[in-house]
Amino acid sequence: MKTEPIVPADILFDDGVPFAPAFGDVYHPRAGALGQAEHVFLRGNALPSRWQGRPRFVVLETGFGLGNNFLATWEAWRHDPRRCEALHFISIEKHPPRREALQQAHAHSPLHALAAQLMESWPPPTPNLHLLPFEGGRVRLLLALGDVAHWLPELLAEVDAFYLDGFAPAKNPAMWEPRLMKAIARLAAPGATAATWSVARAVREGLSDAGFEVRGAPGYQGKAQMSVARFAPRVIPPRPPGRRSAVCGRSEALVIGAGLAGAAITQALAGHGWTCTVIDRQPEPAAETSGNPAGLFHGIVTAEDGAHARFHRSAALRAQQHHRQAVAQGVPGRVDGLLRLAPEQDRAALQALVDRQGLPHEFVQAVDSGQASALAGVTLSAPAWFYPGGGWLAPAAWSRWALSAAARCLWHARVDRLEPVGERWRAISGDGQVLAEADVAVLANAHDALRLLGQPAWPVGRARGQVSLVQSDWQPALPIAGTGYAIGLGDGRLLCGATSQPGYLHEGVRDSDTDHNLAQLQRLSGRVFTPEQLITSRVGWRMLTDDRLPLLGPVPVLGATGPRLEQPRQVPRQPGLYTLCALGSRGITWAPLAAEVLAAWISGAPVPLETGLLDSVDAARFVSRAVRRAAR
Ligand X SMILES: Cc1cc2nc3c(=O)[nH]c(=O)nc-3n(C[C@H](O)[C@H](O)[C@H](O)COP(=O)(O)OP(=O)(O)OC[C@H]3O[C@@H](n4cnc5c(N)ncnc54)[C@H](O)[C@@H]3O)c2cc1C
Per CB under 6 A, contacts with ligand SAM among 573-632 are none
- The answer to whether the bond into 498 is cis (omega within 30° of 0) is yes
- The answer to whether the bond into 48 is cis (omega within 30° of 0) is yes
Q: Please count the residues of this chain forming the interface with ligand X, following the rule CB under 6 A.
A: 41
Rounded least distance, CB 398 to ligand X, Å: 10
Choosing from 38, 39, 48, 65, the residue that interacts with ligand SAM (CB under 6 A) is 65
Rounded least distance, CB 36 to ligand SAM, Å: 8
Q: Give the one entry of ligand X, ligand SAM, none that residue 175 binds, where binding means its C-beta sits below a cut-off of 5 to 8 angstroms depending on kind.
A: ligand SAM
Q: Give the per-residue contact string, 439-458, with ligand X (x = CB under 6 A; - = no).
A: -----xxx-x----------
Q: How far is CA 558 from CA 107, 561, 572, in A?
A: 57, 9, 9
Rounded least distance, CB 621 to ligand X, Å: 18
What number of other Cβ atoms are within 10 A of residue 454's Cβ?
9
The region that residue 109 occupies, defined by phi over 0 for left and psi between -120 and 50 for alpha, beta otherwise, is beta
Residue 465 touches ligand X, criterion: CB under 6 A: yes
315, burial (CB in 10 Å: exposed 0-12, middle 13-18, buried 19+): buried
What number of other Cβ atoms are within 10 A of residue 216's Cβ?
12
Residue 277 touches ligand X, criterion: CB under 6 A: no
Residue 141 touches ligand SAM, criterion: CB under 6 A: no
* Cα atoms in the Cβ-side hemisphere of radius 13 Å centred on 217: 18
- Gap between the Cα atoms of 499 and 513, Å rounded: 7
- Give me the long-range contacts of 299-302 (CB less than 8 A, separation at least 24): 299/363, 299/364, 299/385, 299/387, 299/389, 299/390, 301/350, 301/353, 301/354, 301/357, 301/359, 301/364, 301/385
Note whether 278 and 410 are within 8 A (CB). yes
Choosing from 42, 45, 56, 68, the residue that interacts with ligand SAM (CB under 6 A) is 68
Residue 288 touches ligand SAM, criterion: CB under 6 A: no
The smaller minimum CB distance to ligand X, of residues 246 and 261, is found at: 261
What number of other Cβ atoms are within 10 A of residue 185's Cβ?
21
- DSSP labels, 90-109: EEEESSPPPHHHHHHHHTT-
Choosing from 295, 337, 389, 476, the residue that interacts with ligand X (CB under 6 A) is 295
- Gap between the Cα atoms of 268 and 100, Å rounded: 32
Give the three-class secondary structure for 297.
strand
Residue 338 touches ligand X, criterion: CB under 6 A: no
Span interacting with ligand SAM, options 166-174, 280-288, 394-402, 528-536, rule CB under 6 A: 166-174
Exposure letters 321-358 (e unless 16+ CB within 10 A, then b)? bbbbebbeeebbbbbebbbbbbeeeebeebbebbeebe
Residue 540 touches ligand X, criterion: CB under 6 A: yes
Rounded least distance, CB 105 to ligand SAM, Å: 8
Per CB under 6 A, contacts with ligand X among 492-511 are 497-498
Q: Please count the residues of this chain forming the interface with ligand SAM, following the rule CB under 6 A.
A: 23
Residue type, 141: L
Q: Give the one entry of ligand X, ligand SAM, none that residue 6 binds, where binding means its C-beta sits below a cut-off of 5 to 8 angstroms depending on kind.
A: none
What number of other Cβ atoms are within 10 A of residue 78's Cβ?
14
The region that residue 346 occupies, defined by phi over 0 for left and psi between -120 and 50 for alpha, beta otherwise, is beta
The smaller minimum CB distance to ligand SAM, of residues 147 and 252, is found at: 147
The smaller minimum CB distance to ligand SAM, of residues 38 and 93, is found at: 93
Span interacting with ligand SAM, options 47-55, 170-178, 273-281, 620-628, rule CB under 6 A: 170-178
Choosing from 62, 69, 227, 466, the residue that interacts with ligand X (CB under 6 A) is 466
Choosing from 258, 359, 453, 496, the residue that interacts with ligand X (CB under 6 A) is 258
Span interacting with ligand SAM, options 59-67, 476-484, 513-521, 577-585, rule CB under 6 A: 59-67
Which parts of this chain interact with ligand SAM (CB under 6 A)?
9, 27, 33, 61, 63-69, 92-95, 147-148, 165-167, 172, 174-175
Which parts of this chain interact with ligand X (CB under 6 A)?
256-262, 279-282, 286-290, 292, 295-297, 414-415, 444-446, 448, 465-467, 497-498, 540, 542, 581, 583-589
